[in-house]
């Protein structure tokens, strides 16, 4: 069965700090990987996705993620966060039967 683990439940950063959120997945076959963002009171929106090719994926709002197959990881990064990045971030994978499974989420709070 596929699963997704996000190690950080709550992260607090000052503006301009660099961000890295960890994500590990468990699935033996080919996977597609996603990062979604949920701003307070809103629905989930896609930040970026990986399906093949270059393991470094660039998304919207300056976010990027790196797929490291040997580590089953897909960590999200941003070199300099802004107050507007305060949100909850979800890692997800689609593997067997294309079922999309989400991690438990990481709440990011950016302090001005």
Partner 1 sequence: DARVTQTPRHKVTEMGQEVTMRCQPILGHNTVFWYRQTMMQGLELLAYFRNRAPLDDSGMPKDRFSAEMPDATLATLKIQPSEPRDSAVYFCASGLAFTGPNTEAFFGQGTRLTVV
Task: Verify binding: residue 104, partner 1, rule CB under 8 A.
Answer: yes
> According to CB under 8 A, which one of 35, 105, 108, 110 is a site residue for partner 1?
105
Q: Where are the beta strands (DSSP E) in the chain?
A: 3-5, 10-14, 19-21, 24-26, 32-38, 44-50, 56-58, 64-68, 73-78, 87-94, 100-102, 106-111
Task: Verify binding: residue 56, partner 1, rule CB under 8 A.
Answer: no
* Of 77 and 102, CB closest to partner 1: 102
* Of 85 and 103, CB closest to partner 1: 103
> Which residues fall within 8 angstroms of residue 88, CB to CB, at 6 or more apart?
37, 38, 105, 106, 107, 108
Q: Please say whether the beta carbons of 36 and 49 come within 8 A.
A: no
Site string for partner 1, 59-88 (x = CB under 8 A): ------------------------------
* Of 82 and 109, CB closest to partner 1: 109
> According to CB under 8 A, which one of 3, 14, 18, 42 is a site residue for partner 1?
42
> According to CB under 8 A, which one of 35, 67, 76, 103 is a site residue for partner 1?
103
DSSP 81: -
């Amino acid at each position: 069965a596929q699963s997704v683990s996000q190690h950080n439940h709550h992260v607090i950063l000052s503006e301009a700090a660099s961000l890295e959120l960890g994500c590990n997945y468990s699935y033996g076959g080919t996977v597609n990987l996603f990062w979604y963002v949920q701003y307070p009171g809103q629905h989930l929106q896609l930040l970026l996705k990986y399906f093949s090719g270059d393991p470094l994926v660039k998304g919207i709002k300056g976010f990027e993620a790196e797929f490291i197959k040997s580590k089953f990881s897909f960590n999200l990064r941003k070199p300099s966060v802004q107050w507007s990045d305060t949100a909850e971030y979800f890692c997800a994978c689609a593997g067997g039967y294309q079922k999309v499974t989400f991690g438990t989420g990481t709440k990011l709070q950016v302090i001005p």
